[in-house]
Structure 1
Amino acid sequence: MNNQTSLVQNIFRLILAAFMIYAGVSHLTFNRIDFQAQVPDWLPFEKDLVVVLSGYVEIALGLGLAFWKKQQVNFGWALAVFFLLVFPGNVAQYLDGKDAFGALDSDKARLIRLFFQPVLIVWALWSAGSWADYRAKKNKN
């Protein structure tokens, strides 16, 4: 496993980790209702349960990304998968026209937000060295 990441990558990894911890805590506290707007109606679970569980996952991913250096590559992949898994909720919020967070109060704002999901995925894979590790392993074979 290649844990060779640059100073810039490590700074961005820690920023992303802090963002995830903050988002997770906000799932459990002051943004709990707003996050329920992102849970698709077709999901067969109570919206509050999904918000609470995803909050705990975000906190765990953020803490792991920040502090478990030996596993940062794996946490980068896990976070990228998490961002993929929550994307349908963002799409549902756009399609259903549900407002949240004060800023997601128009179709334009909700649509623009969708384009940030790939950025988050790339950010997770790059900052944790996950993509470089994958390429290095692939080149060995």
Structure 2
Amino acid sequence: MKTSTTQDVFRILLGSMMTLAGIGHLTFQRDEFQVQVPRWLPTDSEFIDFVVIASGVTEILLGLALIFLIKYKVKIGLFLGIFFILIFPGNISQFTNGVDAFGLDTDLKRLIRLFFQPVLILWALWSTGAITYLKNLKTSSYEFL
């Protein structure tokens, strides 16, 4: 799937941000990510730490894949969009439980952050050409009818 230079720049930027966030999961922001794990999941510290580590490794892999696996960028964009949906409950949990992390120390800041998740999903899909791919898939499926 051909993408524009602007899309490529934003794809690489998102990949870099994902890689840095993943590193943060494993190191300097680990405590903050732990408080975002939804409270409806098991609450023992080993499980919470596993969730943070697993999501961090996933973010690093997706970030690096966005940057370097250009041939698979559409699939990676789709996977990243799904990943952003899957981690959204952590953001909701942070809001509903009033948990301070990442400078989000008021209910208003935590609420505003919730509206950025759809932006990240669209960013992943747009910058990789996945939106165009999905539109073409939809169009081609109607041709068979």
TM-score when scaled to structure 2?
A: 0.92
1:29 maps to a residue whose letter is T
Distance 2:49 2:106 in 1: 23
2:19 is matched with which residue? 21
Pairs aligned (count): 138
What whole-Å deviation, never above 9, does each CA across 1:48-90 have from its counterpart, x for those lacking one?
Answer: 1111100000000001111111110000000000000000110
2:29 is matched with which residue? 31
Distance 1:94 1:138 in 2: 36
Q: Which runs of 5+ in 1 are unaligned?
A: none
- Structure 1 residue 122 displacement after superposition: 0.3
1:92 is matched with which residue? 93
Distance 2:82 2:140 in 1: 25
- Structure 1 residue 138 displacement after superposition: 2.1
Please list every run of at least 4 consecutive aligned residues from structure 1 whose deviation after the TM superposition is greater than 3 angstroms: none
2:106 maps to a residue whose letter is S
Distance 2:30 2:140 in 1: 46
2:49 is matched with which residue? 48
- Structure 1 residue 32 displacement after superposition: 0.1
Q: Percent identity?
A: 52
Distance 1:73 1:130 in 2: 5
* 2:77 paired with 1:79: no
Distance 1:133 1:104 in 2: 36
- Structure 1 residue 140 displacement after superposition: 2.3
- Structure 1 residue 134 displacement after superposition: 1.3
Larger radius of gyration: 2
- Structure 1 residue 43 displacement after superposition: 1.1
- Partner of 1:40: helix, strand, or coil? coil
TM-score when scaled to structure 1?
A: 0.95
1:121 is matched with which residue? 121
1:60 is matched with which residue? 61
How big is the alpha-carbon RMSD for the aligned residues of Structure 1 and Structure 2? 0.9
Distance 1:115 1:125 in 2: 17
1:138 maps to a residue whose letter is K
Distance 1:136 1:4 in 2: 13
